[in-house]
């Protein structure tokens, strides 16, 4: 099966790129299942009900997220209602929403999707490694394939989790830093890995934020209200070829598209 993962969608520029390119990518690569990280889709900060519905219409099967999923408080209740929207599963008990789920592809394959958040430079959360173990106990007998979106800052933590889960999941793909890394490969146990899938949004920016605002904040060290940038949009992601019988990856390929490709 083919699984397409699209990295952090940032603001209107990112949403427009997804809308313009997703159907073509699915057709070109015969994609069976689409996962999109949407935590920055609403103006760069959080998600809304309308955006979730629009992603569904485009053919997105699951929306993962990260620390910015909490930026829109009126979306908290939606996290409990929308089974196809995940938040990092290692937040403490009682947090709205869910961190993993099982979904069926159009060819009947059962895909487990797991969303975790790192702790290095990210705050005090439950252990993502032990949370992954717990989720795997739930998913092991219910799924044919397991995909992990690890939303983390530190490359070392992302790599460590991938090695920890090697041979137990199909792929561990990093998000959060918005810059695609050139380290895509398949680990010895058959698990595909990339430190960061990159961003779908404005390249003429500072990781999706208007560059003038970001630069001023670095120079002055004063508080600033960030806004999502709009110019020179790109789409970044990862295409995974997965053997449904073994549950492991045969191939991982970076996806990068400009506005006209």
Q: Supply the CATH number for residue 206's domain.
A: 3.60.21.10
Non-local CB neighbours of 57 within 8 Å, separated by 6+ positions: none
Of 108-122, 138-152, 217-231, minimum mean pLDDT range: 217-231
pLDDT(12) > 90: yes
- pLDDT value of position 107: 84
- pLDDT at residue 164 tops 70: yes
More confident residue, 147 or 223: 147
**pLDDT bracket for residue 261 (50, 70, 90):** low
- Residue 220 above 80 pLDDT? yes
Give the mean pLDDT of the chain: 94
pLDDT recorded at residue 223 = 86
Q: How confident is the model at residue 41 (pLDDT cuts 50, 70, 90)?
A: very high
Provide the annotated active-site residues.
Answer: 68
Tell me what pLDDT residue 22 has: 96
pLDDT in tens, 51-98: 999 999 999 999 999 999 999 999 999 999 999 999 999 999 999 999
Strands 185-186 and 62-64, by their bridges, are unpaired
H-type alpha helices, 125-171: 128-139, 155-165
Beta-carbon contacts of residue 220 (< 8 Å; ≥ 6 apart): none
The total domain count for the chain is: 1
Higher pLDDT, 209 or 188: 188
| pLDDT at 112 > cutoff 70 | yes
Sign of CA dihedral 53, 76, 106, 10: positive
Alpha-carbon dihedral sign for residues 133, 138, 144, 149: negative
Determine the structural domain holding residue 34 and report its residue range: 2-257
Mean pLDDT for the stretch of residues 216-241: 91
User: Mean pLDDT across the stretch 117-142?
Assistant: 94
């Amino acid at each position: 099966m083919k699984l397409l993962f699209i990295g952090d969608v940032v603001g209107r520029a990112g949403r427009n790129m997804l809308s313009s390119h997703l159907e073509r990518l699915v057709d070109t690569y015969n994609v069976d299942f689409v996962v999109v990280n949407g935590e920055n889709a609403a103006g760069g900060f959080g998600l809304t009900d309308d955006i979730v519905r629009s992603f569904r219409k485009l053919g997105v099967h699951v929306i993962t997220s990260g620390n910015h999923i909490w930026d829109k408080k009126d979306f908290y209740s939606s996290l409990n209602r929308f089974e196809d929207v995940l938040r990092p599963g290692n937040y403490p008990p009682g947090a709205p929403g869910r961190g993993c789920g099982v979904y069926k592809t159009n060819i009947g394959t059962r895909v487990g999707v797991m969303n975790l958040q790192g702790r290095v430079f990210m705050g005090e959360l439950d252990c993502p490694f032990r949370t992954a173990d717990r989720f795997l106990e739930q998913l092991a007998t219910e799924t044919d394939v397991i995909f992990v979106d690890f939303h983390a800052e530190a490359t070392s933590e992302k790599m460590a989790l991938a090695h920890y889960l090697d041979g137990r999941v199909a792929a561990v793909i990093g998000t959060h830093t918005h810059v695609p890394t050139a380290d895509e490969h398949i680990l010895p146990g058959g698990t595909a890995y990339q430190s960061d899938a990159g961003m779908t949004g404005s390249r003429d920016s500072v990781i999706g934020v208007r560059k003038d605002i970001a630069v001023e904040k670095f120079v002055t060290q004063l508080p600033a209200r960030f806004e999502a940038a709009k110019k020179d949009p790109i789409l970044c992601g990862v295409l995974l070829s997965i053997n449904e019988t073994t549950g492991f990856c045969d191939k991982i390929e970076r996806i990068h598209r400009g506005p006209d490709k």
